[in-house]
Structure 1
Amino acid sequence: MVSSQSLLGGFGSVASFVLEHPWSLAPIGVLILALVLLAGPAGGGSDRRDPKRMFTAAERAQAFTRAGLRCEHKPLLWFRCTNTPTQGDHIYPWSRGGRTAMSNQQALCAFHNNRKSGAVPSRAYIIRLQRRRRRYFPPEENLRVEWRLGAAQ
C-alpha cells in the first residue's frame, strides 16, 4: 500500500500543514480574487442601448482638447501614444451598452481606435486611464469614466 506521504514526495509536510490549517490558503485566495476582478471586464453589458450613437463634432473637439491633442492610448509598460487624436472612442463600447457621453469618451488616433474596436476594457484599464488623466485633463474636468445609461454626465 502506498502512503500519501510517498505520493506527495517532498511536499508532504506542506500538504499536511495545509490540511491541518486550511485558513493558511486565505491570502492566496484573496490574491486570486483580486486578480480576477481587476482583469475582468469593467461591467456587465446591457440589452438597452443609448439612442444616440455618435459623438458630435463639438464633443469630439472637446475630448481632443482635454486630452492635450494627443491620443489617450497607453500600453501597460510603455509611453502614451504621441499621435494626434482623430476619433472619439466609447471607452465602454456603445454596442455593449455604453452610452454616448463625454464621461465615456476617450480621444484616440485611428490606429488605436481600430485596434480597440468593440473590446470591453478591464477594470484595471479604466483605473489606469482615470489616474493618467490627472496629468493632462484641465482641473475642472471630471476624470471619472461613467458608461452606464442613467449615470451622470
Structure 2
Amino acid sequence: MSTEHALSLLAATISLIVDRPWILLPVAVVVLVCSVLDSPAGGACPSRDSRRAFTAAERREAFERAGLQCEHKSILWRRCTNTPTQGDHIYPWSKGGRTAMSNQQTLCPFHNSRKSGSVPTRMYILRLQQRRRRYFPDDTSPLVEWRPGAAP
C-alpha cells in the first residue's frame, strides 16, 4: 500500500467519523465489555490485606467496645439491639479493606448478611464514627481507617 493510498484512507475514515459520530458507539461498547471482562472477578482488589479474618481476641475486643450491641443503625431508627456475633470489615476486605481493628464493626447475623460486600457510603462512616464517640472507651479512636498503610 502506498503512502498516498494510506493517507487518503485515513482522511476518508476521519471524515466518516466526523460526519457520523454515532458510528463509534459499537467500538465504545466493545472496549467497555473487554475492560469489564479483563477486570478481576467480583471487583476483587489485587492489593488485599494478606490476613482475611479477625482473630477471636480482636472480635471479643470489638464486641466489648460496642457494648455487646450490634453497631448498625438505620437512618431514622435507633441502633440495633441484637447481640453481635460477627466482626465485619466496614470497608470490605474483597475491595481492599484492611483486617484491622479500625476497620471492624460488630454486627448481628442479619445486618452482616444484609451488608454483605457492599462499600459503605461516606455518610454511613461519618454517622458510625459519631455514634462511636458515645460508647467507645476514651482511649480508643472511633475513626474508621480502612486503607492499606493507615494507622491501626
TM-score over 0.5 for the alignment? Answer: yes
Cα displacement (A) at 1:123: 0.4
Unpaired stretches in structure 2, ≥5 consecutive residues: 1-43
Matched, 1:88 2:55: no
Alignment coverage as a number of residue pairs: 109
Identity %: 72
1:72 corresponds to:
71
> Which string of whole-angstrom CA distances, capped at 9 and with x for unpartnered residues, describes residues 25-68 of structure 1?
xxxxxxxxxxxxxxxxxxxx843000000000000000000000
Secondary structure of 1:145's match? Answer: coil
2:145 corresponds to:
146
Letter in 2 for 1:123: R
Bigger RCO of structures 1 and 2 (CA < 8 A, at least 6 apart): 1
Cα displacement (A) at 1:71: 0.2
> Which string of whole-angstrom CA distances, capped at 9 and with x for unpartnered residues, describes residues 7-31 of structure 1?
xxxxxxxxxxxxxxxxxxxxxxxxx
> Which string of whole-angstrom CA distances, capped at 9 and with x for unpartnered residues, describes residues 53-89 of structure 1?
0000000000000000000000011000000000000
1:118 corresponds to:
117
Whole-angstrom distance in 2 between the partners of 1:79 and 1:47: 37
Whole-angstrom distance in 2 between the partners of 1:62 and 1:110: 18
Whole-angstrom distance in 2 between the partners of 1:137 and 1:46: 31
Letter in 2 for 1:65: E
Cα displacement (A) at 1:101: 0.1
1:30 corresponds to:
none
Secondary structure of 1:152's match? Answer: coil
Runs ≥4 in structure 1, deviation > 3 angstroms? Answer: none
Whole-angstrom distance in 1 between the partners of 2:45 and 2:111: 25
2:46 corresponds to:
47
Matched, 1:59 2:28: no
TM-score (norm 2): 0.70
Unpaired stretches in structure 1, ≥5 consecutive residues: 1-44
Whole-angstrom distance in 1 between the partners of 2:97 and 2:55: 16
1:31 corresponds to:
none
Matched, 1:109 2:108: yes
Whole-angstrom distance in 1 between the partners of 2:73 and 2:136: 15
CA RMSD of aligned residues (A): 1.0
Cα displacement (A) at 1:149: 0.7
Cα displacement (A) at 1:105: 0.1
